């Protein structure tokens, strides 16, 4: 059902071909009418031309109805179930009970795409700078790094604002397809970069709490975008039109929010793992990084990285009908590469820290041994 709908949505080329054929037929009819003065022939040609025009109008109407129907399915926020008398062929009968408000202007979609690319480049640039101490010290001296990160106090409110209006960002680059990538960038940025400037200060606690609040709000608004889209996709793929109304469908199983085809959700275990990692990091900074708090912090961050990597790989591998496969592969492939680089950086930093700690312990033992010898 969805393949048929998408086929009609992309049939502009076929319509242009039919227009060329009608022009040829019109030219043939004109030549034949000019050469022959038989009224019967003229009447047959007029009827033939009327039939071709009716078929063309039917094709255009079918294309318009199919496009608007799929848009209605993908943007429906409330499906209502009706009682059915045919329990054998139609156990569950649903219809859409909401109307779509319409899209924003196309330049809004372009702005969101540019914002997504800038957020990705910002996270990638700071990841590269973290590998070298020179870049790190430069950004600490000259500018506050957090102001340019997707999880920072400037860009994160913009992310929340974009996702809040995401239902109507659907002209060129639908946010139902790019929204998960935007939330994944926020997750990666929050896990990768930790503010080291403020130690046990109220300002640090407020910034971390606002980051947690922003991530929770962004996850909630993302679900308000993707859940209707995934539900409509499930309704098109696994339902049969009953014919009682344009959106009336019969199903063998009940309809759930988000459908059963795509399992990704914004408000999920990954978001809770990110929030737990940020909270453990904040508590460790305020109360001191002892062995217990450090262990809890490392465990929460490992779980968070595993959850984010799992979401990125799932979105990279899943084939969702109607999405631009090349664009989605490029976006989520870049996010997977960014996650790999940050995980490699974290492992490398942990190895360097452990080596330095062992070296300092050996040095202390050597100094204490020399002191005992002197005494």
Summarised one tens digit per residue, pLDDT across range 247-299 is: 888 988 888 888 888 889 999 899 999 999 998 888 877 777 677 778 888 88
Instruction: Evaluate whether 335 touches 123 at the Cβ level (below 8 Å).
Output: no
Mean pLDDT of 324-332: 84
In this prediction, residue 68 carries a pLDDT of 67
Tokens of 226: 């993707």
Q: What pLDDT sits at residue 48?
A: 53
For the record, the structure tokens of 258 come out as 């988000």
* 160-163-168 Cα angle (round to 5): 145
Is 91 within the bounds of a domain?
no
Q: State whether 71 and 112 are in the same domain.
A: no
Domain boundaries, position 125: 106-365
For residues 175-190, average pLDDT:
92
Q: Give the pLDDT confidence score for residue 291 in this predicted structure.
A: 74
pLDDT at 199 (0 to 100): 56
Q: Tell me: do 43 and 125 sit in the same domain.
A: no
Rg of the chain, C-alpha, whole Å: 30
pTM of this prediction?
A: 0.76
| 139 found inside a domain | yes
* CA atoms within 13 A of residue 145's CA, in its CB half-sphere: 23
Q: Which of 60-74, 214-228, 318-332 has the lowest mean pLDDT?
A: 60-74
99 in a structural domain: no
Does residue 280 share a domain with residue 207?
yes
In the structure, what pLDDT confidence band is assigned to residue 169 with cuts at 50, 70 and 90?
A: confident
Question: What would the mean pLDDT of 50-75 be, rounded to a whole number?
Answer: 56
Q: Are residues 48 and 115 in the same domain?
A: no
- Do 208 and 335 sit in the same domain of this protein? yes
167 shares a domain with 255 = yes
Residue 175: pLDDT band by 50, 70, 90 thresholds? confident
Between the two ends of the chain, the Cα-to-Cα distance in Å is 89
Number of structural domains in the chain: 2
- Last residue of one domain, picked from the residues 75, 94, 124: 75
User: What local confidence, expressed as pLDDT, does residue 77 receive?
Assistant: 85
Strands 92-96 and 240-241: unpaired
Do residues 68 and 110 share a domain?
no
Reported as a pLDDT band with limits 50, 70 and 90, residue 337 is very high
The average confidence (pLDDT) of the chain is 77
How far is CA 12 from its chain centroid? 27
Could you tell me if residue 155 is inside a domain?
A: yes
Q: What is the 3-state secondary structure (H, E, C) of the chain?
A: CHHHHHHHHCCHHHHHHHHHHHHHHHHHHHHHHHHCCCHHHHHHHHHHHHHHHHHHHHHHHHHHHHHHHHHHHHHCCCEEEECCCCCCCCCEEEEECCCCCCCCCHHHHHHHHHHHHHHHHHHHHHHHHHCCHHHHHHHHHHCCHHHHCCCCCCHHHHHHHHHHCHHHCCCCCCHHHHHHHHHHHHHHHHHHCCCCCCCCCHHHHHHHHHHHHHHHHHHHHHHHHHHHHHHHHHHHHCCEECCCCCCCEEECCCCCCCCCCCCCCCCCHHHHHHHHHHHHHHHHHHHCCCHHHHHHHHHHHHHHHHHHHHHHHHHHHCCCCCCCHHHHHHHHHHHHHHHHHHHHHHHHHHHHHHHHHHHHHHHHHHHHHHHHHHC
Assess contact for 104 and 169: CB atoms under 8 A.
yes
CB under 8 Å, gap of 24 or more: what pairs does 308-312 form?
308/184, 308/187, 308/188, 308/191, 308/270, 308/274, 308/339, 309/336, 309/339, 309/343, 310/270, 311/180, 311/184, 311/264, 311/268, 311/270, 312/184, 312/336, 312/339
Task: Tell me how far apart the alpha carbons of residues 27 and 16 are, in angstroms, rounded to a whole number.
Answer: 17
What is the model's pLDDT at position 197? 56
pLDDT digits (tens, 9 = 90+) for 107-164: 888 999 899 999 999 999 888 887 765 444 444 544 577 788 899 889 999 999 999 9
Segment 157-174 shows an average pLDDT of: 88
- Residue 264 located in a structural domain: yes
Q: Are 276 and 149 in contact (CB under 8 A)?
A: no
Are 185 and 120 contacting, i.e. CB atoms less than 8 angstroms apart? yes
Query: 39 and 173 share a domain?
Result: no
User: pLDDT value at position 58?
Assistant: 43
pLDDT over 50 at 96, yes or no: yes
Residue 166 to residue 177: CA distance in whole angstroms: 11
Q: Are 39 and 120 members of one domain?
A: no
pLDDT recorded at residue 304? 92
Q: Is pLDDT larger for residue 324 or for residue 111?
A: 111
pLDDT confidence bin for 183, thresholds 50/70/90: very high
The verdict on 183 and 66 lying in the same domain is: no
Can you tell me the mean pLDDT for 5-17?
Answer: 42
Q: Are residues 296 and 348 in the same domain?
A: yes
Q: Is the pLDDT confidence value at 333 over 80?
A: yes
My answer on whether 112 and 159 are in the same domain is: yes
The answer to whether residues 65 and 8 touch, using CB atoms and an 8 Å cutoff, is no
The answer to which of 66-70, 95-99, 173-177, 309-313 has the lowest mean pLDDT is 66-70
Q: pLDDT at position 364, please?
A: 65
Judge whether 177 lies within some domain. Answer: yes
At residue 368, the pLDDT reads: 56
Whether residue 101 is contained in a domain is answered as no
CB atoms within 10 A of CB 224: 16
Closest CA to 85 of 244, 276, 277: 244
* 117 falls within a domain: yes
Residue bearing the bigger pLDDT, 352 or 159: 159
């Amino acid at each position: 059902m969805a393949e048929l709908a998408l086929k009609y949505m992309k049939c502009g080329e076929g319509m242009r071909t039919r227009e060329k054929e009608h022009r040829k037929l019109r030219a043939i009819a004109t030549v034949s009418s000019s050469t022959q003065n038989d009224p019967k022939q003229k009447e047959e040609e007029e009827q033939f031309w009327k039939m071709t025009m009716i078929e063309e109008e039917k094709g255009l109407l079918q294309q318009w109805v199919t496009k608007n129907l799929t848009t209605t399915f993908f943007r429906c926020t409330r499906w209502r179930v009706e009682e059915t008398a045919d329990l054998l062929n139609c156990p569950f009968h649903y219809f859409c009970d909401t109307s779509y408000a319409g899209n924003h202007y196309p330049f809004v979609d372009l702005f969101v795409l540019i914002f997504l690319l800038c957020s990705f480049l910002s996270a990638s640039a700071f990841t590269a700078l973290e590998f070298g101490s020179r870049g790190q010290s430069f950004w600490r001296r000259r500018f506050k790094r957090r102001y340019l990160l997707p999880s920072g106090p400037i860009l994160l409110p913009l992310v929340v604002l974009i996702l809040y209006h995401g239902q109507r960002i659907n002209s060129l680059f639908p946010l139902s397809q790019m929204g998960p990538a935007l939330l994944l960038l926020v997750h990666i940025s929050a896990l990768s970069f930790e503010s080291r400037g403020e130690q046990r200060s109220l300002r640090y606690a407020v910034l971390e709490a606002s980051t947690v609040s922003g991530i929770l709000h962004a996850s909630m608004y993302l679900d308000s975008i993707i859940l209707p889209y995934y539900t409509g996709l499930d309704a098109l793929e696994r339902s049969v039109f009953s014919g009682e109304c344009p959106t009336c469908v019969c199903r063998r199983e009940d309809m759930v929010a988000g459908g059963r085809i795509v399992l990704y959700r914004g408000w999920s275990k990954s978001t809770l793992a990110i929030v737990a990692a940020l909270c453990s990091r904040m508590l460790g900074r305020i109360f001191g990084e002892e062995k217990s708090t450090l262990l809890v912090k490392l465990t929460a961050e490992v779980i968070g990285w595993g959850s984010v990597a799992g979401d990125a790989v799932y979105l990279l591998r899943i084939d969702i009908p109607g999405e631009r496969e090349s664009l989605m592969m490029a976006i989520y492939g870049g996010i997977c590469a960014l996650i790999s680089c940050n995980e490699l950086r974290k492992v490398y930093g942990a190895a360097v820290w452990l080596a330095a700690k062992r070296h300092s312990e050996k040095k202390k033992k050597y100094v204490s041994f020399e002191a005992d010898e002197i005494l």
